[in-house]
Amino acid sequence: MIKSFTAVTREIDDAVAAVAEIKAALDFEKNLLKNSIGLISCFSEFAETGVLKAICEAMPFDCIGSTTCICSAGKETEQIMLAIMVLTSDDCNFETAALPITEKYEESINSALSPVLGRSGEKPALLLAYLPLMNMVSGDMIITAIDKITGGIPLFGTTAIDHNMDYHTAQTIYNGEAFRETAVLGLVCGALNYSFEIASLDEDSARKQKAIITESNGNILMGVNGKTAQKYFEEVGLTQHELTSVSGILPLVIDHKDGTKPVARAFFALTPDEHAVCGGAMPVGATLAIGHVVANDVLNTTQKAVRAIVEKECAILSYSCLARFIALSVDNTAEAGKIAEVVEDTPYIYAVSGGEICPLMDANGKLKNVFHNYTNVFCKMS
């Protein structure tokens, strides 16, 4: 069984004051059980000022997480804020791992993760993942590499993001240190109850006409219905100018035809050879439909997902795509507010994400680890 509690601080310059605020809210003497881990989401400048490091060094357990552009816990939501959720248990154990993502990423992940799996002494029930935002190695590629080592242990988490246009301070967090090209994992072993839920595009938001992906290379969509990606987009009424103007907020809904729910993929850019750079794997043979994201859908799908998963005596983790945040425009804290409203007194942590990781059930009832875009992913633990 796992218990949880949260704390936040807006103190970004004074490390002593920030540590005091966090420690007072967490109240270790009252709340900590035998084994614990801290999950952190924060504005990237907390790493630059040293406040992040000071807070992590003051915690009597490992802390992992990532930067974000907005986070929420304990009904407090803010851009310039650090939020921490502590998971604590007498019958669950926690291990942590930092996985450098090198050019030979499969080898580097294996060499860093295998010893930790051996040290845990038992197969983890769940992996909590914080992935780096990288051009050369996608979230799908990292998840696939981890799956090869673990045999597909359920993986849940987020990709680092920040408040800058080029995301140059998007970093993962491991015990107070911030990394640009390192994935961070938390391994949860023992008697853990957990479940997952997703809030993605409304079913009515995708165009009814569907196409078949006929050529691709990882996250590069090369051919649709036998034509180049650009030709297909133009055929359905999207000009190159329109594609450029909606870059990053044009959802491509992919059905893998394996019994899992369809997933949304972000469109980022067209290449000179008329291919599309996307936010996740675009497998040949999958069907594709074009969707859109609007504010009401963001709030309605989130409310529905939270109501489906929340219960008393649990912890809720929520990581929501940057595109959903953008769709809310000036009311960009509304999704966090909706979660706080529905969960009532249940401990939760919410953060905006650069790519979401959450398992989906396939046709055989088996969980399959999936990388998402345009989605708010939820994990309930108790």
Looking at residue 150, its amino acid is: T
Domain regions of the chain by residue span: 3-199+297-381, 203-290
Q: What is the pLDDT along the chain (382 residues), one digit of tens a residue?
A: 899 999 999 999 999 999 999 999 999 999 999 999 999 999 999 999 999 999 999 999 999 999 999 999 999 999 999 999 999 999 999 999 999 999 999 999 999 999 999 887 789 999 999 999 998 899 999 999 999 999 999 999 999 999 998 999 999 999 999 999 999 999 999 989 999 999 987 656 656 578 899 999 988 999 999 999 999 988 888 766 666 665 556 788 888 888 788 888 888 888 899 998 888 888 999 998 888 788 888 999 999 999 999 988 899 999 999 999 998 988 999 999 999 999 999 999 999 999 999 999 887 889 999 999 999 999 999 9
pLDDT score recorded for residue 241:
65
Which tokens go with 70? 């907005």
pLDDT score recorded for residue 289:
85
pLDDT score recorded for residue 182:
98
Closest CA to 94 of 192, 196, 177, 237: 192
CA neighbours closer than 13 Å in the CB half-sphere of residue 160: 31
Cα distance between residue 143 and residue 43, in whole Å: 25
Phi and psi angles of residue 345, each rounded to the nearest 5 degrees, phi first = -95, 0
Entry pTM:
0.93
Give whole-number Cα distances, 95 to 125, 138, 158, 170, 310, in Å: 12, 24, 18, 24, 26
Closest CA to 155 of 171, 179, 139: 139
pLDDT score recorded for residue 267:
83
Q: What is the DSSP letter of 111?
A: H
Q: Residues near 158 by Cβ (< 8 Å), separated by ≥ 6?
A: 66, 68, 129, 130, 131, 319, 351, 353, 354, 355, 356, 357, 377
The residues with which 380 forms a beta bridge, in sequence order, are 195, 316
pLDDT score recorded for residue 208:
59
Whether 134 contacts 101, CB under 8 Å:
yes
Three-class DSSP category at 164:
coil
Q: How far apart are the first and last CA of the chain?
A: 5
